[in-house]
């Protein structure tokens, strides 16, 4: 079997919002790439044994006190280094060139003119559009370097030293606004670092199956299955490796969408043929949630009960030693870019949060993958698109979309309204382009008129957002006709609703879910 990790590119993170994107672009070139913080001990870099290193951008200035600096040892490893934006300035600084403040911050598109097309800029052609975002610039090149590209505002927009195989770019090749960015990164990883394209999902699949087989042997594995992308891919993958030694547990917490429990079970049983244990714990969850209106309390109760139910089922199965779960690469990157606020905004609960006090060995086959790679892997495993392209659904389910008291009746109203929203969004062909689209049942009643009668009934709010990762989001400008159709259908078809409103808030300052 080909070693998918034989050629690796290391991305050192100096705090750029694009760091993850750099690693993803390299992986799209079928070369394995990992991100480490800029100050990672040198020994760890040596052990990783990369074939090339990319220094990310970042918000700092190299000449400021306390500016992030990586171990200069990386330049003695005899591997090529590509510095992007701050990474280029740092390289210049460390090799005793001069970095200064640009007269004007340069932000946005610029045309690049090539001075040397024999290395990273090979095959680009003059006038290609690149994306700039910097306040500092290179004033004097370090010894051994020459200018390989310039723009109207940046006389040194790209530099290189072929002898030592060191390159710097003032612009960002990883963002789509840089038209030939992929070509530049390909030049670096293939031509300059000499990597070959070994990181394919097919080879990752073979590699994972081998690994899981070796680790598990004849023992047993359990996993919590929600029907979402990550847990379905994990369960299918592990089942490919160890077959009937895996039992997947699907807990119906009574907070699922219309027809969801049945749909997921059918898919698992008929298409994916997994060994599934279905637990209907709806009554238990709804009882525990009776009279609870505080969103954090709802979340805590659901998280706690989920673990209880899961543990009870696991005991019944008895012999499992391993727990498989869908931890993804963004959850494990020790990155300096995404230092979120330390205050808990919402306690998130999902099936990934299980094992804190459970006595299992973990199997986390997706630890190295980004979300889009998980989908490709899912495709490789013949998981239907219907699952692979599902919009995210929160662990606490409809409990945080029925605002206030959760009752069977209110859950029913929300389920019916939500089903109409999804049906119409899908009919319009928008489902895949939207991060999430759903209905929320508000805890207020309003006056309406139906026929000649006064009504006093519920309000449904519609929420539809675009997002890259759920961290920030914007509301979708849905066509008026579609909004009209959804509203009409909900008011006509769902008894107990006489008003529909559309949520036009972005995150921040709002959040995606209402609770």
Residue of 162, 361, 423, 513 interacting with ligand XMP (CB under 6 A): 513
Is the separation of the CB atoms in 486 and 462 below 8 Å?
Answer: yes
- Closer of 220 and 367 to ligand XMP (Cβ): 367
Q: Which of residues 149 and 352 has its CB atom nearest to ligand XMP in the complex?
A: 352
Report d(CA 13, CA 334) in Å as an integer: 9
Between CA 346 and CA 425 the distance in angstroms is: 28
Our CB check for ligand XMP shows the closer of 25 and 349 to be 349
Can residue 350 be called a binding residue for ligand XMP (CB under 6 A)?
Answer: yes
User: Residue 299, interface with ligand XMP (CB under 6 A)?
Assistant: yes
| Site for ligand XMP, residues 361 to 400, rule: CB under 6 A | 392, 394-396
Report the C-alpha gap between 48 and 351 in whole angstroms: 31
Query: From CA 384, how far away is CA 407, in angstroms rounded?
Result: 33
Query: Long-range contacts for 177-182 (Cβ within 8 Å, ≥24 apart)?
Result: 177/109, 177/129, 177/130, 177/131, 178/129, 178/130, 178/131, 179/128, 179/129, 179/130, 180/124, 180/128, 181/25, 181/130, 181/131, 182/25, 182/28, 182/29
Q: Under a CB-based contact definition with an 8 Å cutoff, are residues 42 and 71 in contact? A: yes
Burial class (CB in 10 A: 0-12, 13-18, 19+), 107: exposed
- Binder of ligand XMP out of 215, 240, 288, 346 (CB under 6 A): 346
Q: How far is the CB of 488 from ligand XMP (least distance, A)?
A: 26
How far, CA to CA in Å, does 139 sit from each of 89, 92, 133, 173, 255?
Answer: 10, 9, 17, 21, 61
Number of residues that bind ligand XMP (CB under 6 A): 15
Catalytic, out of 172, 195, 313, 349: 172
Start-to-end Cα distance in the chain: 49
Q: By CB under 6 A, what part of segment 405-464 binds ligand XMP? A: 436
Q: Give 380 or 513: the residue with its C-beta nearer to ligand XMP.
A: 513
Query: Which position among 70, 106, 150, 174 bears the catalytic label?
Result: 174
> Cα–Cα distance between 358 and 232 in angstroms, integer?
21
Q: Confirm or reject binding of residue 512 to ligand XMP (CB under 6 A).
A: yes
- Taking CB under 6 A as the criterion, the residue among 25, 30, 51, 349 binding ligand XMP is 349
Name the residue nearer to ligand XMP (CB basis): 153 or 511.
Answer: 511
227 within 8 A of 262, measured Cβ to Cβ: no
- Minimum Å gap between C-beta 503 and ligand XMP is 12
Q: What x-and-dash track marks residues 98-137 binding ligand XMP by CB under 6 A?
A: ----------------------------------------
Q: Does 348 bind ligand XMP (CB under 6 A)?
A: yes
Site map (CB under 6 A) of ligand XMP, residues 170-209, x = contact = ----------------------------------------
Cβ 395 to ligand XMP shortest distance, Å: 4
CB of 476 to ligand XMP, least distance (A): 14
Stretch that binds ligand XMP, among 31-39, 262-270, 316-324, 343-351 (CB under 6 A): 343-351
Q: Is residue 223 annotated as a catalytic residue, yes or no?
A: no
Whether 172 is catalytic is yes
Q: Which stretch binds ligand XMP (CB under 6 A): 108-116, 189-197, 373-381, 506-514?
A: 506-514
Please give the torsion angle defined by the CA atoms of residues 263, 380, 430 and 490, in that order, rounded to the nearest 10 degrees. Answer: 10
Active site residue 85: yes
Among residues 116 and 513, whose Cβ is nearest to ligand XMP? 513
Please, which residue, 173 or 228, has the CB nearer to ligand XMP? 228
In terms of CB distance, is 179 or 346 closer to ligand XMP?
346
Q: How far apart are CA 392 and CA 390, in angstroms?
A: 6
Report d(CA 248, CA 231) in Å as an integer: 10
The candidate with the shortest Cα–Cα distance to 401, out of 416, 392, 414, is 414
Asked if 507 is part of the footprint of ligand XMP (rule: CB under 6 A), the reply reads yes
CB 220 within 8 A of CB 317: yes
247 with 311: CB under 8 angstroms? no
The minimum distance between CB 397 and ligand XMP, in angstroms, equals 9
Is the backbone peptide bond immediately before 509 cis, with ω within 30 degrees of 0? yes
Q: Which of 85, 193, 195, 223 is catalytic?
A: 85
Q: In the beta sheet, which residues pair with residue 138?
A: 99
Q: Which residues bind ligand XMP (CB under 6 A)?
A: 299, 346, 348-350, 392, 394-396, 436, 470, 507, 511-513
Catalytic site residues? Answer: 85, 172, 174
């Amino acid at each position: 079997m080909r070693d998918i990790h034989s050629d690796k590119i290391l991305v050192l993170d100096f705090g750029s919002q694009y760091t993850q994107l750099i690693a993803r672009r390299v992986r799209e070139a079928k070369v394995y790439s990992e991100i480490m913080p800029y100050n990672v001990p040198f020994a760890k870099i040596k052990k990783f044994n990369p074939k090339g290193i990319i220094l990310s951008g970042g918000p700092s200035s190299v000449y400021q006190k306390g500016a992030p600096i990586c171990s200069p040892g990386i330049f003695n490893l005899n591997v090529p280094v590509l510095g992007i934006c701050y990474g280029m300035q740092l390289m210049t600084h460390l090799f005793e060139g001069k970095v200064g403040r640009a007269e004007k911050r340069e932000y946005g598109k610029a045309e690049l003119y090539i001075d040397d097309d024999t290395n990273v800029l090979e095959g680009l052609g003059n006038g290609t559009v690149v994306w700039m975002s910097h306040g500092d610039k290179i004033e004097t090149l370090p010894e051994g370097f020459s200018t390989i590209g310039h723009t109207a505002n940046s006389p040194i927009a790209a530099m290189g030293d072929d002898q030592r195989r060191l390159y710097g770019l003032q612009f960002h090749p990883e963002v789509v606004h840089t038209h030939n960015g992929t070509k530049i990164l390909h030049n670096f990883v293939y031509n300059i670092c000499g990597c070959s394209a070994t990181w394919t999902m097919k080879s990752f699949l073979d590699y994972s199956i081998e690994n899981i087989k070796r680790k598990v042997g004849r023992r047993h594995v359990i996993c919590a299955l929600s029907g979402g992308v990550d847990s379905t891919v994990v369960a299918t993958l592990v089942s490919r490796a160890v077959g009937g030694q895996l039992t997947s547990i699907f807990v119906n917490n009574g907070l699922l969408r219309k027809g969801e429990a049945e749909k997921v079970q059918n898919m698992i049983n008929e298409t994916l043929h997994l060994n599934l244990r279905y637990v209907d714990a709806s009554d238990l969850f709804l009882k525990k949630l009776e009279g609870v209106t505080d969103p954090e309390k709802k979340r805590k109760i659901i998280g706690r009960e989920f673990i209880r139910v899961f543990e009870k089922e696991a005991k019944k199965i008895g012999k499992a030693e391993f727990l498989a779960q869908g931890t993804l690469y963004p959850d494990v990157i020790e990155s300096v870019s995404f230092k979120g606020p330390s205050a808990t905004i919402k306690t998130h609960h999902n099936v990934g949060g299980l094992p804190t006090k459970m006595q299992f060995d973990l199997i986390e086959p997706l630890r190295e993958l980004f979300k889009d790679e998980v989908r490709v892997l899912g495709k490789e495993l013949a998981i239907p698109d219907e699952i692979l392209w599902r919009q995210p659904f929160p662990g606490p389910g409809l409990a945080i979309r029925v605002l206030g008291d959760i009752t069977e009746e209110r859950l029913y109203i929300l389920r019916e309204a939500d089903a109409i929203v999804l049906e119409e969004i899908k009919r319009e062909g928008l489902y895949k382009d939207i991060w999430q689209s759903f209905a929320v049942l508000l805890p207020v009643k309003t006056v309406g008129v139906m026929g000649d009668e006064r009504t006093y009934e519920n309000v449904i709010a519609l929420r539809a957002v675009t997002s890259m990762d759920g961290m920030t989001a914007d509301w979708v400008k849905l066509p008026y006709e579609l909004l009209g159709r959804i509203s009409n259908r909900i008011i006509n078809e769902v008894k107990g609703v006489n008003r529909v409103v559309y949520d036009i808030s972005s995150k921040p300052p709002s959040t995606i879910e209402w609770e």
